[in-house]
Amino acid sequence: MPPVAADPPMNPQPRIMLVMCVIFGIVTPTLADPPKPPAPADENVDALLRSAKPATPAKSEPLPKGGGDASPLKPKSDNPQGWRAGVITLSDGEKVKGRLATTLDQPIRVYDPERKEYRDVPWPTIKSIEAKVLWERDEREWAFRESGSDIKVYSGKTYPARETAYTVTLADGKTVTGSIAAPIYLETAKDPKTFILHKRAKGDVGQTLKQLVYVARVELE
């Protein structure tokens, strides 16, 4: 059998040239590089913040005392709280004058005992509110004789108590009389104050009826 001729030796020059081209970046390897993972969300947010321009804040308007509605869908008002000039006369004779208001967007609710129902009177329609004392007296303070006992004994002390009704006169002259529990806010050049129209009021132990001052009359312009 004749001998098989061997393959001619490979010329190493092309292989050397290929390796050098890969090293120096002339030829890209046939194996593709793995895809670069996307940047983390935090880095994307940071990039957006760096490229974004700062917004100019809009000029804000202060809310009226006692709260307010900042909804842009409602028309703006120069008097959103319903402030009205008026005078409050207290039971001790003191008179305070200023701008008066009640709870925002709430009427004065009067319980009419004759009709046995509540009647809501809008604040802008009220001309005056006058108190009428139904009863007032010094109540005895009672306390349990001892801890866990259901027997009460008189402590020897008293506290003042009072029940009051109010007559609300409207701008058209109509009146509504009954019990009220509502705040009246007073705004003056000095310090604002809050007065409460009570149905029933209770003072501190040792206090007198005269010291338990209440709103006797409210006059509105």
The answer to whether residue 130 sits within a structural domain is yes
The answer to whether residue 191 sits within a structural domain is yes
- Mean residue pLDDT of the chain comes to 76
Q: Which domain covers residue 118, as residue numbers? A: 84-220
The answer to whether residue 62 sits within a structural domain is no
The answer to whether residue 41 sits within a structural domain is no
The answer to whether residue 61 sits within a structural domain is no
- Which amino acid appears at position 1 of this protein? M
The answer to whether residue 156 sits within a structural domain is yes
Helix (H) or strand (E) holding 21: helix 12-23
Question: 0.85 exceeded by the pTM?
Answer: no
pLDDT at 116: 92
Give how far Cα 108 sits from Cα of 16, 41, 154, Å: 100, 55, 39
Query: What is the domain count for the chain?
Result: 1
pLDDT digits (tens, 9 = 90+) for 84-126: 999 999 999 999 999 999 998 899 999 999 899 999 999 999 9
The answer to whether residue 190 sits within a structural domain is yes
Handedness of CA 11, 16, 19, 25 (dihedral sign): negative
Q: What is the mean pLDDT of residues 146-165?
A: 90
The answer to whether residue 103 sits within a structural domain is yes
